[in-house]
Amino acid sequence: MLKSLAQVLPHAAQRFGRKTALIMDGREFSFQELNALSNALARRLVKLGIERGDRVTLYSPNSWEWIVSYYGVLKTGAVVNPVNVMLTPAEVAYVTRDCGAKALIGSADKVGPALSAGVTKLETIAFGDVALPGTLPFSELISGPAEFDPVIVDTKALSTIGYTSGTTGHPKGAMQSHQSVLLNVAMTAQMHLKTTLDTVVTALPCPHVYGNVVFNGAILYGLTLVLHSRFDAAEIASSIQKHRATMFEGVPTMYMYMLAYPELEQFDLSSLNRCTVGGQTMPIAKMAEVERRLGCPLLELWGMTELAGLGTTFPSYGPHKLGSIGIPLPNVEARIADVADPRKIMPRGEVGELMIRGPIVMQGYFGNEAATKEVIEPDGWLHTGDLASMDEDGAIFVVDRKKDMINTGGFKVFPAEIERVVAGHPAVAMVAVGSQPDEFKGEIAKAYVVLKPGAVGDVESIIGLCRKELAAYKVPRLVQFVADLPKTSTGKIMRRELRKLDS
């Protein structure tokens, strides 16, 4: 077992050599080439002052440069802070300040606005050949010597701070050790039988824990990874056919768009022997249609940022149940606990909160001990916030969410984040955010707004404010003006009653 993520690429380069590791945008990279590029970057980062334990933020769409940067940062002993590319510059500024990032690496179209939004006092590197004002060009940093010995760190040392949406309106940084990420990658590969014979096509974002497990697993086990910067049904189908992919990994929305693509049947997808889906629940009827039309099993999985990736899935070498998120990964425990008393285990078939314990559970939220204690029990059990049941075979079925989180296209959105922004609009007196069902995204956010006396409702200005302050997937798709909001006797807004106001 490797001791740190910094060893993954050197190990793979030694084992798999000139085998194609990554295909993207028409370019191919061998394991040796990726290792050499990340070595060159690591050397320059050290010269720029990046040391063991420093935090480095990565902010970019999927790209080969992102992969090289990820491993280059880890080789210096620094901690990776992978941020969602859909976050706004203002949100990225908050994250970099919160984790104390020392450097920012990303695409020019993301780094530039981030600098304008107040990301300061950071060593900033922009992908490409031409340096933006205040940045260093990435091409210059990878053009030097390709020899570098990864900095040795303890396997339980911090490797990653991944930010997840927060119920207080600000994201929280889940801290993951090298061990937890490596174990998650290894156990997932074991469950899905990933080998050098596999070629995986995906458009999952690299900063997302699901995407992280996919690309780390591909590198560690010698797969060929065909990475797309964005999802497009036609491009994905063509890619599967062209590269004779054995796996496609995605979220339900991606499969829904593939099923709706009228020319899907024109592509030869017979090379697929298994696919995975996660990020949110998917209708069983649609899952069955995916299996029928793609001609292979669709394995559901479930995970969260606080687990460094997956927590449950079905193995590819046995039967699976559509609609179930599977069984716990090896060396991981799962239980269905009484919502009122987490020490009490619910009988099989009854609903309670899904809780997880094992070496993949995060170390805690960065700089937020109070929030950490809220979700991790003294004996190590993690509150997931998901309501689920477990059948007699141990298969887990997610049935609802304990909190008010909205799951839109696989991205988690908390109402408090949206409410915090909408409440700042000069015409708004009160606001509450709920969810609405959506065929493709599962759920979308809807804002219910009470206007100040004499104010005029302007949907576009409210949505425009949200677009400025929030990532695109967090922006409410619907705004309804109401006279009042449903509240408890203590004045607390009852979000579950909001749909009764729908007009």
Whole-number Cα distances in Å, 381 to 242, 307, 412, 454: 45, 12, 22, 51
Q: Is residue 130 part of a domain?
A: yes
Q: Is residue 11 part of a domain?
A: no
Per-residue pLDDT at 12 exceeds 50:
yes
Nearest to 112, CA basis, from 140, 91, 95, 131: 131
Task: Quick: pLDDT tens for 279-321.
Answer: 887 888 889 999 999 999 999 999 999 999 999 999 999 899 9
pLDDT of residue 400: 65
Nearest to 65, CA basis, from 177, 308, 229, 230: 229
User: Exposed (0-12), middle (13-18) or buried (19+): which is 107, by Cβ within 10 Å?
Assistant: buried
- 43, amino acid identity: R
Beta-bridged to residue 387, according to DSSP, are 353, 400
Q: Is residue 215 part of a domain?
A: no
Residues 286 and 397 occupy one common structural domain: yes
pLDDT of residue 121: 79
Per-residue pLDDT at 491 exceeds 60:
no
pLDDT of residue 489: 40
Q: How far apart are CA 468 and CA 398, in angstroms?
A: 34
- 12, amino acid identity: A
Task: Quick: pLDDT tens for 379-415.
Answer: 999 999 998 999 999 999 998 667 777 888 888 787 8
Q: How far apart are CA 341 and CA 491, in angstroms?
A: 26
pLDDT of residue 281: 77
Could you tell me the CATH number of the domain that includes residue 449? 3.30.300.30
Category of 264 on φ-ψ map: left (φ > 0), alpha (ψ -120 to 50) or beta:
alpha
Nearest to 321, CA basis, from 251, 393, 273: 393
> What is this structure's pTM?
0.86
Look at the chain and report how many structural domains it folds into: 3
Residues 387 and 466 occupy one common structural domain: no
Residue 95 in contact with residue 73, Cβ under 8 Å? no
Residues 424 and 392 occupy one common structural domain: no
User: How many contiguous H segments (helices) and E segments (strands) does the chain have?
Assistant: 14, 26
Which string of b and e fits 373-383 if b means at least 16 CB within 10 Å?
A: eebbeeeebbb
Residues 302 and 366 occupy one common structural domain: yes
Residues 397 and 448 occupy one common structural domain: no
Q: Is residue 45 part of a domain?
A: yes
Q: How far apart are CA 216 and CA 411, in angstroms?
A: 21
- Give 345's DSSP letter: B
Residues 80 and 105 occupy one common structural domain: yes
**Strand spans (E) along 439-473:** 442-451
Residues 369 and 487 occupy one common structural domain: no
Q: Is residue 461 part of a domain?
A: yes
Q: Is residue 174 part of a domain?
A: no
Range of the domain at 296: 274-401
Residues 334 and 411 occupy one common structural domain: no
Residues 414 and 492 occupy one common structural domain: yes
Could you tell me the CATH number of the domain that includes residue 69? 3.40.50.980
- Domain end residue (candidates: 135, 153, 171): 153
Q: Is residue 226 part of a domain?
A: no
- Domain end residue (candidates: 401, 431, 449): 401
Residues 387 and 296 occupy one common structural domain: yes
Task: Quick: pLDDT tens for 171-212.
Answer: 899 999 999 999 999 999 999 999 999 999 999 999 999 999
Q: Is residue 319 part of a domain?
A: yes
DSSP H/E element including 225: strand 224-227
Handedness of CA 227, 220, 310, 313 (dihedral sign): positive
